[in-house]
Amino acid sequence: MPSLKDIRNKIASVKSTQKITSAMKLVAASKLRRAQEQAEAGRPFAERMGRMLSSLAANVAGGAGGPRLMAGTGSDRVHLLVVMTGDRGLCGGFNSTVVREARRTILRLQGEGKTVKLLTVGRKGRDLLRREFPSLIVANFEDMGRKRLSFAEADKVANKILELFDAGEFDVATMIYNKFKSAITQVVTLQQIVPFAPAAGTVDAVGSVGLQDGAKAVYEFEPSEERILADLLPRNLAIQIYSALLESAASFYGAQMTAMDNATRNAGEMIKKYTLIYNRTRQAAITKELIEIISGAEAV
């Protein structure tokens, strides 16, 4: 039977935990709003670039003649997985769902006899994957967007990927990250970035914006379309990564907010439960003392 003092201490400690989790929840909520705004602000660029790419791609016949970032290397032996997680925990299943999906993909690809390489963004993903696949990790980025994610940081990741690609280190690159649905739901998404295929769905959605004046028009190109495409594709890679990082950041704060909300509620329940036990024990002690006094008085 815990003493009254023990229970009091327990309540005090749960209360201070609750204070921390509810503060973290508020912080996560405000960061989430900022991350969402940033994702919103980044959308026009990605949209317009998608539009340009689709009209370019329509002009440059695909296939072997096209740039390698679009046509591929002609093989799919070596896969690079870009795994995006957070740098920190306390965010529910955010990191582990991505890592679980990464693990499944790695095992599947290896089962098909492919070589897998990993590029991790975020400390948590690196730590978790390093335990199981220490030899696969070729590069790691962390502390991305501590304050505010800048495009320059996404560019760094893109440059690394391009460097690996130019060195012939991989044939296909796929990103695994959490896509933001709402503060409570994040969807783990696999997205192929190299070779880049203007996804039919998105291009349609984007292309329809320009339909009135753009999509049907025949464009002139300065310099040649091949040259522009060769410039545009690496930029597009950086943009894809940038928007994935933004999605991931928004998801992280969403997941953290939800996790901290749950933690705060659980702490509340725990406090209720312990207060009940505390009062019971206190009353029991009083009753016991009364019985002692009364039976003492009777004995006299």
Partner 1 sequence: MVEFELVSPEKLLMSQSVRMVVVPGAEGQLGVLEGHAPMIVTVLPGVIDVYADDMATITRRIFVAGGFCEVTGTRVTVLAEEALELDALRAQDRAGLEKQLSDLREDLDDAKSDAERKTLEGRVAVLQAKLEVQGLH
The letter for the amino acid at 234 is P
What's the sign of the alpha-carbon dihedral 53, 58, 61, 64?
Answer: positive
Report the catalytic residues.
91
By CB under 8 A, name the one of 112, 131, 147, 222 that touches partner 1. 222
Q: Does 166 bind partner 1 (CB under 8 A)?
A: yes
Restricted to residues 98-157, the positions that interact with partner 1 (CB under 8 A) are 150-151, 154
Q: Closest distance between partner 1 and the C-beta of residue 124, in Å?
A: 26
CB 70 within 8 A of CB 62: yes
Q: How far, in Å, CA of 174 to CA of 79, rounded?
A: 8
Q: Closest distance between partner 1 and the C-beta of residue 206, in Å?
A: 12
Window 35-54: contact mask with partner 1 (x via CB under 8 A): ---x--xx-xxx-xx-xx--
By CB under 8 A, name the one of 114, 214, 266, 270 that touches partner 1. 214
Q: Closest distance between partner 1 and the C-beta of residue 220, in Å?
A: 5
Strand partners, 130: none
Q: How far, in Å, CA of 76 to CA of 28, rounded?
A: 40
> Which residues, 6 or more positions from 250, have their beta carbon under 8 angstroms from its beta carbon?
32, 35, 36, 39, 180
What's the sign of the alpha-carbon dihedral 65, 109, 238, 40?
Answer: positive
By CB under 8 A, name the one of 63, 74, 134, 223 that touches partner 1. 223
Q: Does 202 bind partner 1 (CB under 8 A)?
A: no
Q: Closest distance between partner 1 and the C-beta of residue 109, in Å?
A: 26
Count the residues of the shown chain that bind partner 1, applying the rule CB under 8 A: 38
> Which residues, 6 or more positions from 122, have their beta carbon under 8 angstroms from its beta carbon?
83, 84, 85, 86, 87, 95, 141, 142, 144, 248
List of residues contacting partner 1 (CB under 8 A): 38, 41-42, 44-46, 48-49, 51-52, 55-56, 150-151, 154, 159, 162-163, 166, 210, 213-214, 217-223, 225, 227-228, 231-232, 235, 238-239, 242
